[in-house]
Amino acid sequence: MSKISGLGGRLYRGETSIEIIGRRRRWYAVSAVFVLLSIAALSLQGLHLGIEFKGGSSFTVTKAGASVEDARTALTSAGIPGESIIQTIGNDKIRVQTGALDTAQNNAVQDALAAKFSVPVESIDTQIVGPSWGKEITRKALYGLFGFLICVMLYLAMAFEPKMAVAAIAAVIHDVFITVGIYALVGFDVTPATVIGFLTILGYSLYDTVVVFDKIRENTRTITASSKSTYSQATNLAVNQTLVRSMNTSLIALLPVGSILFVGAGLLGAGTLKDLSLALFIGLAVGTYSSIFIAPPVLAQLREKEPAMQALAKRVNGRTAPAGTATPVPSVAGDRRGPRNQPKRKHRK
Amino acid sequence: MSTTTKPVKTTARPARSLAILALVLIALTGLVFVQSATAVRLGLDLRGGTSVTLQPRIAPGENGKVTNEAIDQAVSIIRQRVNSLGVAESEVTAQGSGTNRQIVISVPGDTGRRVVELVGQTAELRFRQVLATATSTGAADPAATPATGVSAEVNAKFAALDCTKAENLQGSGADAPTDTIVSCDRAGLNKYILAPAEVLGRQVSKASAAIDTQGGNAWYVSLTFNGEGTSAFGALTSRVTSLTAPLNQVAIVLDGLVVSAPRITEAIPSGNAQITGSFTQLEAQDLANVLKYGALPLAFDRGEVQQVSPTLGADQLNAGLLAGGLGLGLVLLYSLLYYRGLGLVTVGSLAVAGSLVYLLFLLLGKWIGFTLTLAGIAGAIVAIGVTADSFIIYFERIRDEIREGRSLRTAVETGWSRARRTILVADFVSIIAAVLLYFFAVGGVRGFAFTLGLTTLIDLIVVFVFTKPIVTILSKVNFFASGHPLSGLSAKSTGTLPVAGEA
C-alpha cells in the first residue's frame, strides 16, 4: 500500500510521469478499435432486449427440481403460441418468458404452471408487459439520456469552460458506445434496470472526469504568464497528479457495485440487482479509462489549437530546444515541472 | 500554483458544526419515535404484492384528450375500486407529467388477478336495443340474416365477426354511444348488432350485488337509475316490449361486450334493473363496485403488471441487505488499509451518513409515502461508493498539500478549500443524473433515482458538517500531526521528501 502512496508522491512532483497526453494517438487508436468493434457487434448482433422493451410475460416458479420440459408441457397445455424462452435460475427457480399475451392467456399460463408444479397460483412471480409499454420505456430512456447530456454539458461549461464540457461529453459518448457494444457482443439482457445502471454510470464517469479536470484547471490557470510548460504538459502533470486519486475513487466505487453483482448474480440468479450492477460494473471500468485516457487528451488537443496556447508552446520549445532534449513538443512529459530541488531528472520509461 | 494561504480560523468552528449535527441526529431520532415511524416502508418487490401500471389512451373514434383532470378523476375512481378490496396500504398514484402520466396501482399481498381485472375495466356501461343476433360458430357466417334498417357496412362487419377469437373478447370500452355497433357476448357464444345507446353508466346512481335465493342461488347486480336514467330506461323498455324478437331485447354492454341481453316483457318505469349473467359472488361484487364508482374517463392500456410472491420479496430484501453489508465492509476495509488512521474518519462519516439516510427513510415513509424498493436499495449501495469518494478526494488533497511542504494543520485547510469545489461539482453532476432519472422514468427507476439523489445530498451534508470538522480536530492531535506511521499522513505514505524546501 505504501508503495502506491510513494508512487502518488512521485507522480505528484512529476518525478515519475506516465505519458498520457503525448501518446494520445495510442489511446485514441485503442478506443477506436473498441468503438468499431461495438458498432460491428451492434449492427450484426443487436441488443438482447428484455420483455420490458418488447412486451411479453414472464413467469417464475420457485420449486426445487422443476424441469424445463415440465414447464414446456404446461405451456403447451395452456395453448400458448409462438416462441417461449424457458430457463432455470439458480437451483430452485424456473422462468418462462413468452411473447405478449392477453389477460386470459396469462391466467391460463399461471394456472397450468401452478397445476404442473403443484404450487399455489399466488406463489408464481409474474411480470406482464404490454406491447406499447416497451416503446414508452425506450422513448423515456432516450429522453433521459439526451436530457442528461445536455444538462451536464451546460453545467460543466458554466462550472469549468466550454472546451472541458466538450471533452467530457466526448468521453461520455465513448463510454456509451463501448458499454452498449459489450452488451451486444456478449448478449447480456437489456432491461430497464440495465438502463438505470447505465445512466448512473454516465453520471459517475463524469464525476471522475470532473476530478481530473478540476486539477487541470488549477494547473493551467496562470499558464500563459510563464513559459515553463505547454498546455499539454501541464495537463499531463495534472492527470498524473490525480492518477492515484482516480484509481482509489474508482476502486472504492467498484467495491459496492461488485458486491451487488456478486450477490445479485450469485444468490438471486437474475433480476434487478444483477442487471443493474452488471451495467454499473462495465460502465465504471470504461468510465475510469476514458476519464484518464480520453477526456484529458481531447481537452489538450482542443486547447492547443488556440493561438495563445500555440504561442506558449513556441516559447516553451524555444526554451527547451537549446537544452538538448530533442523530444517533440506534444510528447514532452511533464517531468520538467515540479519542485526545484527535485533530486534527479528521471526520464520516461 | 498559488502559495499564499489565507490564515484560516478554526477555533470553535468544528466543534460547533459537530454539535449541530448531533442535535439534528437527536431531533430526527426523536421525530421518528414521536411519529412512530419505526419501520422502513418496503416496496412490493421486497414484501410481495401486485403492481399495475396503466397507460392512458385515447379511444379510437373519440377526440378526447388525456388531460390532468381526467387522470386525476381516473385515479380517484380506481382508488375507490381498489379500496373496495379491503387490502390495507393499497396505493393508487399518478406518475409522470403532462400527457405522459401513468397510473400506478400497488396492492400488497396476493390478490393478484382480482386487482388486475378490477382496475383495468373502464366500466363503460350502456343499454342498447338489440337489432340482430346470431350464434357465433367460429367461421365467418354469411348466412346471418341481414338486419333491416342497418347499413350494409355494419351487416358485413356482423357477418365477419368471430366471437371465438380471443381478441374480439378483450372488451375495450371503445364503442361510441351514438354508433350502431357489432359486439360479442362475454362468453363468446353470441354476436349482436346493437342500436345506439339509450341509457349510460353515469345514469346509474346505485349498484349492489345480490343473490337470487329462488332462482338457483345465482348472483346478480341490482341497479338503481337516477332521474334522467329512470325516464330513459322507462322509455326504452316501453318502446321495445311490443316488438318482435330480437328487437325486444335490450343488451347490457360493459366495456364493449354484452353482459346479458334480456327480453323485455313489460315496461320498467321504476328506475330499477338487474344484470344477470351467471356471475360468481366475487364477480358480482366487483362489477357492482365498478358500476357504483363510475366509469373511467379514459381508456387504458395495461402497461405493466408485476406480481411478486412474499417469498421472492423476502429473498430480494435479504439479497439487497447482504450486498449492502458486503459492499460497506469492503469499502471500510480498503480505506482502513490504505488510509490507516484517516480511514477511521471514513468509517465515522459513513456511519453518520448511514444513520441520516436510515432516519430519513423512516420519516419520508411517514411523510410522503416513500417506499424502499430493490432498485432503491441498489441506489443506496452505489451511493456508499460515491460518498466514500468524496472523502478520498479530500484526503488525497490533504496529502497533496503536505507534499507541497505544508504542515498538516495548514494542509487540512488549504486542501479543503480546493477539495470542496471538486466535491461540489462532482456531486452536482450526480444530482443532475438523479433528478433527470426521477422525472423521465416510472416505477422502480424512480425509487433508484430518489435514493441516489437523497444519498448524494446527505453525502454533501456529511462532508461539510462532519468529515471536515473531524479532520480539523484530528489535525491538532499529536498522533496525526506528527505523522505517525499509522496515521495515514506519515512522510513515508505521502511520499514526502525528507527535506521539503518548497516555499
Among B119, B142, B168, the domain boundary falls at B119
Say if B5 falls within a structural domain: no
Decide: residue B416, CB within 10 A, 0-12 exposed, 13-18 middle, 19+ buried: buried
Q: How far is CA A329 from the centre of its chain?
A: 32
Q: What is the pLDDT of residue B254?
A: 80
Q: Is the pLDDT of residue A159 over 50?
A: yes
pTM over 0.80: no
CA–CA separation, B62 vs B179, rounded Å?
Answer: 12
Is there a single domain that holds both residue B387 and residue B457?
yes
Q: Is the pLDDT of residue B373 over 80?
A: yes
Which chain A residues are closer than 8 Å to B381 by Cβ? 256-257, 259-260
Whether residues B334 and A143 touch (CB distance < 8 A) is answered with no
Is there a single domain that holds both residue B63 and residue B136?
no
Is there a single domain that holds both residue B111 and residue B141?
no
Least confident of A134-143, A146-155, A172-181: A134-143
Higher pLDDT, B284 or A341: B284
Q: What is the pLDDT of residue A331?
A: 40
- Residue of chain A whose Cα is closest to the Cα of B388: A252
Q: Is the pLDDT of residue B299 over 80?
A: no
Maximum average pLDDT range among A4-13, A193-202, B21-30: B21-30
Whether residues A255 and B327 touch (CB distance < 8 A) is answered with yes
Which of residues 274 through 333 in chain A touch B, CB cutoff 8 A? 276-277, 280
pLDDT interval class at A99 (50, 70, 90)? confident
Which chain B residues are closer than 8 Å to A105 by Cβ? 166
Q: What is the pLDDT of residue B300?
A: 77
Choose among B304, B320, B426: nearest Cβ to A210: B426
Strands (E) across chain A are located at: 48-49, 56-62, 85-89, 93-98, 125-129, 189-190
Q: What is the pLDDT of residue B326?
A: 93
Least confident of A213-227, B99-113, B130-144: B130-144
Is there a single domain that holds both residue B283 and residue B368?
no
Maximum average pLDDT range among A188-197, A251-260, B71-80, B98-107: A251-260
Whether residues B375 and A272 touch (CB distance < 8 A) is answered with yes
- With beta carbons less than 8 A apart as the criterion, state whether A64 and A43 touch: no
Span A189-216, average pLDDT:
80
Least confident of B167-181, B204-218, B235-249, B273-287: B167-181
CA distances to A45, A332, A336, B264 from A321, in Å: 53, 11, 13, 108
- With beta carbons less than 8 A apart as the criterion, state whether B393 and A211 touch: yes
Say if B2 falls within a structural domain: no
pLDDT interval class at B9 (50, 70, 90)? very low
Q: What is the pLDDT of residue A120?
A: 85
CA–CA separation, A300 vs A238, rounded Å?
Answer: 11
Query: Chain B within 8 Å of A198 (Cβ-Cβ)?
Result: no
Maximum average pLDDT range among A304-318, B355-369, B438-452: B355-369
Q: What is the pLDDT of residue B493?
A: 64
Q: What is the 3-state secondary structure (H, E, C) of B400-456?
A: HHHHCCCCHHHHHHHHHHHHHHHHHHHHHHHHHHHHHHHHHCCCHHHHHHHHHHHHH
Identify the structural domains of chain A with CATH numbers, from first to last: 2-49+133-334 (1.20.1640.10), 56-129 (3.30.70.3220)
Q: Is the pLDDT of residue B430 over 90?
A: no
Q: What angle do CA B129, B133, B138 make, to 5 degrees?
A: 140
**% of chain B exceeding 90 in pLDDT:** 12
Q: Given strand B250-254, what is the order of strands in its sheet? A: B181-184, B190-200, B125-135, B250-254, B257-260
Interface test with A, best of B335, B391, B425, B502 (most A CBs within 10 A): B425
Span B430-457, average pLDDT:
79
- Dihedral sign, CA of B116, B119, B121, B122? negative
Say if B420 falls within a structural domain: yes
Choose among A62, A102, A126: nearest Cβ to B166: A102
Span B5-28, average pLDDT:
75
Q: What is the pLDDT of residue A334?
A: 42
Interface test with A, best of B389, B420, B435, B496 (most A CBs within 10 A): B389
Span A242-265, average pLDDT:
86
Nearest to A102 by CA among A131, A135, A136: A131
Size of interface A-B (CB pairs under 8 A): 272
Is there a single domain that holds both residue B364 and residue B232?
no
Say if B296 falls within a structural domain: no
Query: Chain B within 8 Å of A91 (Cβ-Cβ)?
Result: no
Domain that holds residue B218: 123-288
Q: What is the pLDDT of residue B140?
A: 52
Choose among A148, A199, A273: nearest Cβ to B320: A273
Span A339-343, average pLDDT:
45
| Helix, strand, or coil (residue A235) | helix
Interface test with A, best of B44, B307, B427 (most A CBs within 10 A): B307
Least confident of A57-61, A256-260, B300-304, B460-464: B300-304
Interface test with B, best of A194, A211, A254 (most B CBs within 10 A): A211
Say if B7 falls within a structural domain: no
Span A146-169, average pLDDT:
85
Choose among B320, B322, B385: nearest Cβ to A253: B385
Least confident of A93-102, B116-125, B171-180: B171-180
- Dihedral sign, CA of B395, B400, B402, B408? negative
| Integer-rounded Cα radius of gyration of chain A | 26
Q: What is the pLDDT of residue B167?
A: 65
Say if B412 falls within a structural domain: yes
Q: How many domains does chain B have?
A: 3
pLDDT tens-digit readout, B182-194: 888 877 788 888 8
CA–CA separation, B259 vs B244, rounded Å?
Answer: 21
Is there a single domain that holds both residue B319 and residue B443?
yes
The minimum CA-CA distance between B468 and chain A, rounded to whole Å, is 18
Q: Is the pLDDT of residue B76 over 70?
A: yes
Choose among A129, A258, A273: nearest Cβ to B319: A273
Q: What is the pLDDT of residue B497?
A: 52
The verdict on whether omega for the bond into residue A162 sits within 30 degrees of 0, i.e. cis, is no
CATH of residue B103's domain is: 3.30.70.3400
**% of chain A exceeding 90 in pLDDT:** 6
Maximum average pLDDT range among B145-154, B397-406, B487-496: B397-406
| Residue-wise burial string across B267-276, b where 16 or more C-beta atoms lie within 10 A, e elsewhere | bbeebebebb
CA–CA separation, B94 vs B100, rounded Å?
Answer: 10
CATH of residue B232's domain is: 3.30.1360.200
Q: What is the pLDDT of residue B4?
A: 46
The minimum CA-CA distance between B443 and chain A, rounded to whole Å, is 10
Higher pLDDT, A282 or B147: A282
CATH of residue B370's domain is: 1.20.1640.10
Span B449-454, average pLDDT:
87
Among B119, B134, B163, the domain boundary falls at B119
* Residues found in chain B: 503
Choose among B337, B381, B493: nearest Cβ to A260: B381
Is there a single domain that holds both residue B319 and residue B447?
yes
Q: What is the pLDDT of residue A326?
A: 42
Whether residues A152 and B429 touch (CB distance < 8 A) is answered with yes
Is there a single domain that holds both residue B236 and residue B264?
yes
Is there a single domain that holds both residue B91 and residue B230?
no
pLDDT interval class at B443 (50, 70, 90)? low
pLDDT interval class at A105 (50, 70, 90)? confident
pLDDT interval class at B503 (50, 70, 90)? very low
Q: Could you give phi then psi for residue B236, rounded to 5 degrees?
A: -60, -50
pLDDT tens-digit readout, A54-68: 788 888 888 877 788
Say if B171 falls within a structural domain: yes
Take residue B437 and report the three cell numbers written for it.
432519472
CA–CA separation, B34 vs B366, rounded Å?
Answer: 11
Whether residues B303 and A130 touch (CB distance < 8 A) is answered with yes
Q: Is the pLDDT of residue A251 over 90?
A: no
Residue B249: CB atoms within 10 Å: 21
| Secondary element (H or E) of residue B352 | helix B341-367
Which of residues 28 through 87 in chain A touch B, CB cutoff 8 A? 52, 60, 62
Q: What is the pLDDT of residue B11?
A: 44
Among B119, B140, B173, the domain boundary falls at B119
Say if B193 falls within a structural domain: yes
CA–CA separation, B122 vs A140, rounded Å?
Answer: 26
pLDDT interval class at A333 (50, 70, 90)? very low
Q: What is the pLDDT of residue B172?
A: 57
Is there a single domain that holds both residue B101 and residue B234?
no
Choose among B53, B323, B425: nearest Cβ to A273: B323
Is there a single domain that holds both residue B75 and residue B127?
no
Residue B210: CB atoms within 10 Å: 13
For residue B167, the 8-state DSSP code is G
Is there a single domain that holds both residue B376 and residue B260?
no
The minimum CA-CA distance between A327 and chain B, rounded to whole Å, is 26
- Residue of chain B whose Cα is closest to the Cα of A341: B501
Higher pLDDT, A178 or A202: A178
Span B201-214, average pLDDT:
82
| Helix, strand, or coil (residue A89) | strand
Which of residues 108 through 167 in chain A touch B, CB cutoff 8 A? 121-130, 132-133, 136-137, 140-141, 143-144, 147-148, 151-152, 155-156, 159-160
CA distances to A229, B31, B430, B456 from B446, in Å: 48, 26, 15, 15
Those residues whose C-beta lies under 8 Å from the C-beta of residue B239, and which sit 6 or more positions away, are none
| Helix, strand, or coil (residue A189) | strand
Span B341-359, average pLDDT:
91
